Amino acid sequence: MTLPLSEFCEQNGIILYALPPNTTHTLQSVDVSVFKPMKQERKNTVKDWQKRPENINNIITKINFCKVFQETLQNTQMDNHIIKGFRKCGLYPLDPNAVDYTKCVKNFLEKEH
């Protein structure tokens, strides 16, 4: 976090959050709802790309990666996944009850084996 970043956020109405360490599995909306569907769609896009006659026996390289990945982003309805992720994590709209705290704090009510 820097002063220029803070000023940019202030000027653009962006609320900047710093999430606690070791909470990515419950609080980072991208980890929760974006990466899995993106990874699956990427696999599908690459398979479709490889099936095209002009791409037979070709591989994804640094030169064509961006074009293929752009297809992935267009096919995943990413905006819906991002919205669901923020909601599921309780970040927006703010809802502390949406967080699964059992993943963050050991449940002392459970019997230890």
Parent domain of 40: 24-103
pLDDT of residue 111: 55
- Domains in the chain, number: 1
Residue 81 C-beta-side C-alpha neighbours within 13 Å = 18
CA distance 22 to 41: 27
pLDDT of residue 43: 94
Domain annotation covers residue 19: no
Low-confidence ranges of the chain (pLDDT < 50): none
- List pLDDT tens digits, range 43-62: 999 999 999 999 999 999 99
Domain annotation covers residue 82: yes
Domain annotation covers residue 78: yes
CA distance 80 to 38: 12
Give the pair of three-digit tokens for residue 78.
């990413």
pLDDT of residue 81: 84
If you ran DSSP here, which 8-state letter would residue 91 be given?
Answer: B
Domain annotation covers residue 93: yes
Q: Is the pTM of this model over 0.75?
A: no
Can you tell me which residue has the tokens 């019997």? 111
SS3 31: helix
pLDDT of residue 8: 94
Domain annotation covers residue 16: no
71: part of which helix (H) or strand (E)?
helix 65-75
Domain annotation covers residue 5: no
Domain annotation covers residue 90: yes
pLDDT of residue 96: 84
pLDDT of residue 75: 79
Domain annotation covers residue 109: no
